[in-house]
Structure 1
């Protein structure tokens, strides 16, 4: 199969030489059988044809996913485990190490092993898959590593947007006109703005300066956070994003933008993209600090929730994709804008929620799942992702020293957590 990359897949692909990678990491106690890896990785490729693909460009420079036969083996790198911090060092290595785009595959695995404890890392190119896809891959890999007879079934794929968008929506005249207008606006706007973006004397973040800050809440803290959010009818996503926005303002002061981007899993709105469909991007919402906030955090959070809910109601993946697919000639302009233009927001925030991964297997136990990380070549690399596993919230905070000093990121983390667990928070939680 040969499929042209969708518009946003092309944005994540870039020119093919710059890493734009997502990384999942888990800590395991027990026994992983080395000999189970070849069959487990082969089963992944059988279920997910995207894992057999490379990327080839045509004479116009347009990139295509091309499935290969025989399929290239998914690389397995084995590292001896020396400390609980090894997974962070290996994650940073995976962020910076490019895939062999022209030969594939766009996934690799790292096994950090010792006698009784291991860390398992999945690294993938973001142009191929997103966090939801990565979670599906991790879930299946763990199941087959534990039991090579375990059947993981098959995954749905798509060859064009005609497989993603119902015919009555895709062929509707009104929708076509709207998509044409939207793509025309995107093409014109980006081409115009691109002319005013200079690439001279711009120092781009180097992967060697990337850093990761990882931490967890206790089960008690996590439970209290869930309860107080429910009490105030505010989602955990809204509360945490607001806390980080306020923390950025406290620490970075006038340099803070007071804005954040929050990706939304497209699977919630588009049933054609199944839970285990390999897909690269989602929808997005934005949060912005109120110019005249109250002194009460939860009142501010409730106001933000109203705005977020209105944005959620307007999300339409079919219109979004149809509009974007008419904008391919603007890809290079958008990449230039994201890479060299002045940052307009402080960070990207994603709460992936409760992870549906078993904690106990026949031969090993998942001690913890670290929140995934993602970083690419764009000007603002700052990303905060949180997940919940075994009733504990876990956080990953990724950025680059060139863009923001690690010391400031640590202060932001501390201020955000202090805000969430302030005396007001504790008082509100009493009696919940």
Structure 2
């Protein structure tokens, strides 16, 4: 292990150099993060304890595998940002021995600690050590990773922790570069209509994130998946419908107006060519639910699927990427980006779903007990960010907010129970 780590150290000690420019969504996230921090976290729980030195070695192996995990962001002379490699950068690890606070408290601490985008690396980790198990919280600046990319990094980290060898991955270019030929002949979608109401950002200082979590039973998880298939919808559609109904039960504001939900859509399989690379390879789609409280549940779930389906096609990804590329090519300011978010997207819910079994559960000498997240914030004062992940046959939900809707996840679980029983 010592020789392997020495080799990694030597390979990492290369000259500071430009790695690549930020893609359109990466650039947008960089601007939004300068308005309000929008970094995110994933939480993995394993059934074994390792010495901190083993975690440090595994984190170092990650940096050897992924080119962007040793970078910082540098703004060019005309404002165009790029990733630059820092050969001496090491992913910091904060170790909490005999952790007494819940991982939710520690995750909230991570959410309340912004990244300095000008300092490498743009990821960090916190380790909570129990008597026979461990919890790792991986946090990342949202320009260097998206949720699915973060899940792949978790899998690589656990593989390295178990003694596996990680091969270096080639640098993958931004989404725009991968689609440049198709974008040349694609039409640009019409201008997006502004939201009826502008969203307000949280206070620039003093606001504190809260994080909650809830795991459905394996029985309910299976029942939701089976019923969703019967009803010709998806688990994502069912969870979205449940969040909307739960929110209406708990919030008068949600009962009095349509609920806007943004769903990040991973495009790795749709586009191809990026594999498990770091970077941001998503599009985002807003759906609007104007149903009244108590409206037919499965109708709502089917509508979510129907509204998202067009955005998941290759042609739509090309069009949306071209439109964003045109906007970002105008060199927008931080205020421009914030205005786009608050006036145009202006969502109430960010529903980020890693899907079913996104990473392996069994590693050499230990197992992944649970994967939680993504835990993230858009920067709005009152958004409810719900992370969804089904790992080991259990659907797990997280809620992150700076103005939390108390009891939301419990109510979501109740709505889903009612829906599968009806």
Q: TM-score range by the shorter chain?
A: 0.7 to 0.9
Q: Quick check: 1:205–1:400 contact (8 Å CA) kept in 2?
A: no
Q: Quick check: 1:339–1:378 contact (8 Å CA) kept in 2?
A: no
Greater shift in the superposed pair: 11-20 or 322-331: 11-20
Structure 2 partner of 1:430: none
Greater shift in the superposed pair: 128-137 or 99-108: 99-108
Structure 2 partner of 1:346: 348
Structure 1 partner of 2:10: none
Structure 1 partner of 2:269: 268
**Do structure 1's residue 87 and structure 2's residue 103 form an aligned pair?**
yes
Residues paired across the two proteins, number: 399
1:178-201 Cα deviation digits (max 9, x unpaired): 45x87xx68xx99xx9xx9899xx
Q: Name which of 396, 411, 421 aligns with 1:394.
A: 396
CA distance in 2 between counterparts of 1:73 and 1:316 reads 38
Displacement of 1:388: 0.8
Q: Quick check: 1:53–1:65 contact (8 Å CA) kept in 2?
A: yes
Displacement of 1:11: 2.1
Structure 1 partner of 2:225: 226
Change (3 A) 1:136 1:207: farther
**Do structure 1's residue 244 and structure 2's residue 243 form an aligned pair?**
yes
Q: Quick check: 2:65–2:167 contact (8 Å CA) kept in 1?
A: yes
Displacement of 1:354: 1.6
1:238-274 Cα deviation digits (max 9, x unpaired): 1110121122223223445322111111113211222
CA distance in 2 between counterparts of 1:348 and 1:129 reads 17
**Do structure 1's residue 417 and structure 2's residue 413 form an aligned pair?**
yes
1:106-134 Cα deviation digits (max 9, x unpaired): 01111111332211111110111101110
Q: Quick check: 1:246–1:258 contact (8 Å CA) kept in 2?
A: no
Change (3 A) 1:107 1:60: same
* TM-score computed with the length of structure 2 as normaliser: 0.84
1:391-411 Cα deviation digits (max 9, x unpaired): 11100011112xxxx3x331x
Q: Quick check: 1:293–1:300 contact (8 Å CA) kept in 2?
A: no
3-state SS of 2:47 partner: strand
Structure 1, unaligned stretches of length 5 or more? 428-432
CA distance in 1 between counterparts of 2:240 and 2:151 reads 22
Q: Quick check: 1:261–1:286 contact (8 Å CA) kept in 2?
A: yes
Change (3 A) 1:294 1:108: closer
Q: Name which of 48, 58, 64 aligns with 2:82.
A: 64
* TM-score computed with the length of structure 1 as normaliser: 0.82
Structure 1 partner of 2:21: 4
Change (3 A) 1:311 1:203: closer
Q: Quick check: 2:245–2:294 contact (8 Å CA) kept in 1?
A: no
